[in-house]
Structure 1
Amino acid sequence: MTVLNEPARPLSRTQRYVLEQFLQALVDRLNGAEGAILATADGFPAAFSGVLDEGMQRRLAAVISSLSALGEAAGDQVAAGPLNVVSLQYEARQIQLIAMRGERNDYVLAVLARPDLLLGNSLWALRECAAQIIAALKP
């Protein structure tokens, strides 16, 4: 779990632009990444970079926030502590996501990639991107 401490407020255009630059750098860094998305915990896209159209971005944001919530709920049932990572691997793609929890705003950061992207590389890059996002969103 990555900690995010900033007040709950809509992102400005400048903040969104900066976040999209971080996400584009994440996609560029990972050979096989097709897109990266920062979603609010309640399922709305905050920033995106990659190949998906706007409708798919909205649907993916809703799904990854739900996956994060389900992961948290499962962890609560077995006293596992806070959620760190969810990894989904399919025949044609994979998705890794990390929860970014704060006092007021919670986000989910995810990368969509081809199935040959190495999980360790993806998770390392996601954590670094999350740190950049946290720094950028501090008041």
Structure 2
Amino acid sequence: KWHQRGKKSNATMLFGHVESREHRIDHMLRLRALQDETGGFNCFIPLVYQKENNFLKVEEFPTGQEILKTMAISRIVLDNIPNLKAYWVTATINLALIAQEYGANDLDGTIERESIQAAAGAKSAHGMPLDDFIHLIKDSGFIPVERDSLYNELKVW
């Protein structure tokens, strides 16, 4: 109903816990169909499950290769959703930077203090200064762009 009112939202997919690759594809195909119907999604965010402090005890954490494959497949399947976020807090900053080569165009933000993923056991820093973020994006060959939550461009570095 939100999209029927002309409102936008993001879509997420938690992965790396109990699902199979087939479940991930099914999830993406359902989102693709809904996006075709409503056009209401601004962004797709595949979130890597943080196994440390959760009741679902997972034996194997997704490898970097598995995370990047998920990003690439997301970009291909969900080409009707304009933005793909490599949320650096769950994927780590280095992997998120590489994910730009696999279709991601959003790393989220500087985040002064992230606490949800940190409590779940995320190994990434719990925040990052803006200057560091800008440097890392430029160093990886991309152009840093500040945006608002609706993906309106605010500033380009």
TM-score under structure 1 length normalisation: 0.30
Question: Which fold has the larger relative contact order, with Cα–Cα distance below 8 Å and residues 6 or more apart in sequence?
Answer: 1
- Higher strand content, 1 or 2: 1
TM-score under structure 2 length normalisation: 0.28
Structure showing greater radius of gyration is: 2
